[in-house]
Amino acid sequence: MAIAFPPRIVCSEKSTIEKAVMVSPSSPVPPVILTQDELKKIAAYKAVEYVESGMVLGLGTGSTAWFAVNRIGELLQQGKLKNIVGIPTSKKTHEQALSLGIPLSDLDKHPVLDLAIDGADEVDPYLNLVKGRGGSLLREKMVEGACRKFVVIVDESKLVDHLGGSGLAMPVEIVPFCWKFTAYRLQRLFEYAGCVAKLRTCGENGEPVVTDNANYIVDLYFKKDIGDLKVASDSILRLAGVVEHGMFLDMATTVIIAGELGVTVKNK
């Protein structure tokens, strides 16, 4: 199935930035208002254009990556892609890929991937990311850290001036043992940025969210810029009890951003 772009969109490609811009007709036409899901689908379909037959692919997790995985399955069924091997980043993506007939493997058999496609919760001007609000940050970082090219797909609402700038969660996966102690230490670590650390829980019952790796997630909320991201990363990872955090630094090679005026492609 071909992707349905808004009417009268023209794409022009440059070496590092590609924009699809609305063309104003001679007579006024009401603007096309796209939903967030439509923007996600546009970005996902554009990312799948990077996929070639014979590739080993990292298959991302989340609402945007879902469209990309579906598209890959569709192209396989149509015979337009062949000999694809997928490495899923979560149990949920594993189930989705199996339902679509995408052959799957793991990092033990394929330690180097050709390409990974995934969404992000935040993207800063340097293409650093926050990921993991869907709870799969550890597996995502393992898979996407093993690929030659990492294509990130987002809608324009995910763009921030600095990581944590949305005011939403920056996830940290931790072991369940003495989780309150670990959460307290994480909060103290970023006290200068007004950090609040909260255990992620399930709905009304208040039970902790458990990751695919049987760990908990502590979400960090910042009121101010946390400063040097590599220093922040190292500080988090040095805390005993921390498994991984959701800052993906210097990992994305391409970010595809879908917005009301079209698609922008940024390359590292």
Count Cα neighbours of 177 within 13 Å in the Cβ-side half-sphere: 4
Element (H, E) at 36: helix 36-48
Tokens of 156: 């324009």
Rounded Cα gap, residues 92 and 257, in angstroms: 24
Cα-to-chain-centroid distance, residue 92: 15
SS3 content of the chain, % helix, strand, coil (to 5): 25, 30, 45
> Can you tell me the distance from the alpha carbon of 193 to that of 41, in angstroms, rounded to the nearest whole number?
35
Would residue 140 show up in a list of annotated catalytic residues for this protein?
yes
Catalytic-role residue among 38, 122, 140, 244: 140
Distance CA 118, CA 144 (A): 9
Catalytic residue numbers?
140
